[in-house]
Amino acid sequence: AASAAASAGPRRLRGPLRLLVVAALVGAFAGALAAGIVVTFSDDADADLPSSVETAAAPPPAPAGSTSDATEASAAAAAGTAGTSSAGGGVGGTNSADADSGGTAGTDDAAPTVDRAVHIDAKAIYDGIVASVVQIEVSSADNLLTSSRGTGFVLTADGTIVTNAHVLTAGGTLDVAPPPAPADPDDPDAEPPVPAGDDVDISVRLEDGITLEATVLGIDTSLDLAVIAVDATGLVPVKLGSSTGVEVGDEVMAVGNALGLGNTHTATVGIVSAVERSVDLANTRLGRLIQTDAAVNPGNSGGPLVNAAGEVIGINTAIAGFDYDGLGFAISVDRALPAIRLLADGIVPTTARLGVRVIGSDQWEEAVENDEEDNLAELDVVLGLPGAVVIEVLPDTAAAAAGIEAGDLIVEFDGAPIRSGGDLRDVVTTLTSGTVVDLLLVRAPDAGDGGGPAGPGTPIRRTITVTLGAVEDD
């Protein structure tokens, strides 16, 4: 995250519209509220937005990049070391969608259907969620300087809490404690988990004002998720909803420690203004985000986005720059939960891998024209539909085991439409290895015979079930 010194005055950023991760009052141990980590929109989702934005100066202390469809989704991208890396160098290049990647639940019973005819009761929703929302403060071990403030929410009654990774790491790197051993009644002297790190302390303020020291159970910066724990009982877990059925126009509430203004949370109400958004962070890319116009500010990071039934459907993570209103982004809860469950057990999620190289169908003709080594013109491909064209199935991968073939057009991934190679990568990078998904393919009627784009005949639509592999399997 940007330090207070680095963000001391407004500066204009050129190029793609940039976002500020809601890095919750980061001062790099300087005690100021930070503007956040810079991320960018993907071109296809937001080409109509302005091309420049100012980042505001960091607020005073609280009182006493675009991605081509021809982008390789490599392990490095999923791990946050190379957010986007082109395999082909621009249009006509190829996507390796190893199109690849990537939870203890609160009350995660099947979510009741939200009655969209009933408007959100803001007071009732706030009263129902506030006891489950916590304020998080990360500071130097001597407690003299504050590095970061953010939000989290209670997942289990015995103290498991979810937040964003950047809330914990805004002041630098963080040593993660080993997972706590199960309670041993025969060993009352068993040592508790070690603190989060030698140089950093994490404190959690509960809604009733009690402040507790927290331990990091797991953190994954590539997914911007973290799970921490406090020594407590009788906490109130959130009720988890489902983000699968979320639609534009659904009413939502964001609750959190906005700007660190005080000891009570801030609640803002709005609607879901878009779904399936993708943003590029400094070191990774987040996909399938929920976009909302509910006001989200620095300090809201890690807090819940709640639907009209009072259920958490997202984790507030990013906002547009301060010159733009109504652009907040939340990690969808359905995509976050598998990773959260692993992190709660001290396991860093393994990056998922499909094992195909693809290119957007809208780039096919230019790709064929510029092709020098893949013999694309020989593939039987169904053209005229949006999707991701498979140009190679990598051996000994999930795709190969499932029977996916070169020339197949992937049009849906577990029910979500795939319009480009970038879409495929985005969806895979939100998942962990071992996830079982259904892919809808369109295959040429004469597939396997060669001879170029499919001629006359009815294309074959086929659903294939795939168990995603792991990048480390290579």
Q: Which residues are known to be catalytic? A: 166, 224, 301
User: CA nearest 148: which of 317, 315, 23?
Assistant: 23
Other C-beta atoms closer than 10 Å to the C-beta of 178 total 10
| Range list of β-strands (E), 211-327 | 211-220, 225-230, 251-256, 266-280, 285-292, 304-307, 312-320
Residues in CB range of 348: below 8 A, 6 or more apart = 218, 219, 220, 342
Q: Please state, in angstroms and as integers, the Cα–Cα distance from residue 400 to each residue in 61, 76, 395, 396, following that order.
A: 55, 22, 6, 6
Report how far residue 454's alpha carbon sits from residue 470's, in angstroms, rounded to the nearest whole number: 33
Give 370's Cβ-side CA count (13 Å radius).
Answer: 14
Q: For residue 367, what is the DSSP state?
A: H
Q: Which amino acid is at 262?
A: G
Report how far residue 312's alpha carbon sits from residue 303's, in angstroms, rounded to the nearest whole number: 9
Block residue for tokens 């969608």: 97
- Kind and range of the H or E run holding 44: helix 43-46
CA quadruple 113, 119, 125, 127: dihedral, nearest 10: -140
- Kind and range of the H or E run holding 139: strand 133-140
